[in-house]
Structure 1
């Protein structure tokens, strides 16, 4: 599956949006990939995650399990694990930090691939690895459906991306005037208030 094929799945679901968006990283961007509009369609999600599973296995071999950061990556993490034939776990925030909860356990030495949906900076990957390592798991790599950093995200581990695109993003104090003139939306869930 090519980058164009991946973006066609997003366009087909109405998930490739243009405007002024504040990303989970806090950076501003003129484009947002509303991945949940893709994930509502099992057939689209299956096509994407099957291709991602194939890339994971080609790069890292078959892992023992997949771990995804909640909430956004739970669906693609599960579907990718299904194609690999391995368990799917997720980490979720508790007091601001990712933790294994819900009786999830990782066997010491288990080979783990962390699966994300869309990345910009790789911050969620770096955070998600902490509870995996604390449980004794061995992170062999990270994978995502879309790397919107153009390959510049620093995840800290080898990365497999199904699609790599170079979408501009700006620090809050570097937003260009034409983008700043558009009202900003925060479509992600990272900063939702409980």
Structure 2
């Protein structure tokens, strides 16, 4: 069972894994999905290079979820492509082993820009989600919009979203932000951020990073305005 003390130890361990893998970028100028600016960025993809470390983190996350009463209900895991796929696959493996039954793993692909929902579930996966109890899994979550969009897809297929889990939540999102389901996270650490008009990094003319986050989109928008 995950006690408060162990949870703190697990969070510290998870942070050490992120740092060791180079997944925490600091002293930069990044534009987040929310449009706010900050000096730090979490690069979830960097964890995937070390499958063993990633698997360990997902074991702890699955343990947290199972200890919260979802041992009997979960039937399938759904992740957003592409960053959520590696951690969600490991998560499904650990869940299956813990409950001694198969828990399927699926993902939602990014849809065309003309679609209302930015994600779509491949036809091959729909039968695993329809009328099933689904758990959503991603790597790093900021606004929760990906989970909210996935929840809509699941419910459109008649599925039931039990909850959502991620390695890191970077903001103070609540259950209602992701479709009114429980949210589990190994790391709950917020970065200081600012609206563009209040951003001290902009005022000091620090260049915006266009490799990560939404810096390139922001600069293009500024050129057009």
Instruction: Please indicate, yes or no, whether the TM-score normalized by the shorter chain is above 0.5.
Output: yes
Equivalent position of 1:114 in the other structure: 136
**Any idea what the Cα deviations from partners look like across 1:84-111, whole Å, max 9, x if unmatched?**
1111111112124211015112344311
Equivalent position of 2:30 in the other structure: 21
Q: Please state which structure has a larger fraction of its residues in helix.
A: 2
How many angstroms apart in 2 are the aligned matches of 1:25 and 1:129? 19
Asked whether the equivalents of residues 142 and 159 of structure 1 are also in contact (C-alpha less than 8 Å), the reply is yes
User: 1:83 is paired with a residue of what secondary structure?
Assistant: helix
TM-score by length of 2: 0.77
Q: How many residues align?
A: 191
Structure 2 residue 172 is matched with structure 1 residue 155 = no
Asked whether the equivalents of residues 129 and 154 of structure 2 are also in contact (C-alpha less than 8 Å), the reply is no
Post-superposition offset of 1:124? 1.0
Equivalent position of 2:159 in the other structure: 137
Asked whether the equivalents of residues 144 and 173 of structure 2 are also in contact (C-alpha less than 8 Å), the reply is no
**Any idea what the Cα deviations from partners look like across 1:164-194, whole Å, max 9, x if unmatched?**
00212333333234676321124148x99xx
**RMSD of aligned alpha carbons:** 2.2
Equivalent position of 2:121 in the other structure: 100
Q: Please state which structure has a larger fraction of its residues in strand.
A: 1
Asked whether the equivalents of residues 54 and 87 of structure 2 are also in contact (C-alpha less than 8 Å), the reply is yes
Asked whether the equivalents of residues 16 and 31 of structure 1 are also in contact (C-alpha less than 8 Å), the reply is yes
TM-score by length of 1: 0.88
Structure 1 residues 25 and 57 mapped into 2: Cα distance closer, same or farther (>3 Å)? Answer: same
Q: Which has the larger radius of gyration?
A: 2
Asked whether the equivalents of residues 151 and 164 of structure 1 are also in contact (C-alpha less than 8 Å), the reply is no
Structure 2 residues without counterparts, runs of 5 or longer: 1-8, 97-102, 218-225
Structure 2 residue 90 is matched with structure 1 residue 79 = yes
Post-superposition offset of 1:9? 0.3
Structure 1 residues 164 and 99 mapped into 2: Cα distance closer, same or farther (>3 Å)? Answer: same
